[in-house]
Amino acid sequence: MKITQEQVEYVAVLGRLALSNEEKTKFMGQLDDVLKYMDTLSAVPTDDVEPMAGPVELFTPLREDVVKPSLPIEQALANAPASDGSSFLVPKIIE
């Protein structure tokens, strides 16, 4: 499959890109290479392969939720740049 300059220009319009003629020529070749690679991948038989999110199976160990005592307020606010004794004070960012 050969990518045309019109197709590159169309993709550039969709991406709101201003491309020079040299860039269009460069991207024609690169997009053509991507599509050739996709053709190569589509030739691989995958009928008996289960879909997966990634090449390595990930396992996330879970732990039981255990109620523990909270951090004392004084200790939580010890390194705060500003506090009012029970809360962090932060600069106002909404006017």
Q: Which residues form the domain of 19?
A: 5-42
Asked whether residue 47 is domain-assigned, the answer is no
Asked whether residue 22 is domain-assigned, the answer is yes
Burial (CB < 10 A; 0-12, 13-18, 19+), residue 8, is buried
Residues 6+ apart with CB under 8 A from 1: 32, 35, 36, 39
Task: Assign residue 23 the CATH number of its domain.
Answer: 1.10.20
| Nearest in space to 87 (alpha carbons), one of 32, 55, 76, 65 | 76
Asked whether residue 52 is domain-assigned, the answer is no
Asked whether residue 32 is domain-assigned, the answer is yes
The structural domain count of the chain equals 1
- Both ends of the chain: CA-CA distance in Å? 55
Asked whether residue 76 is domain-assigned, the answer is no
pLDDT in tens, 19-50: 999 999 999 999 999 999 999 988 999 888 88
Q: Quote the DSSP letter at residue 79.
A: T
Asked whether residue 18 is domain-assigned, the answer is yes
Q: Quote the DSSP letter at residue 88.
A: B
* Whether residue 76 has pLDDT greater than 70: yes
* Whether residue 1 has pLDDT greater than 70: no
pLDDT for the residue numbered 55? 81
Asked whether residue 24 is domain-assigned, the answer is yes
pTM: 0.48
The whole-number average pLDDT for the span 46-62 is 84
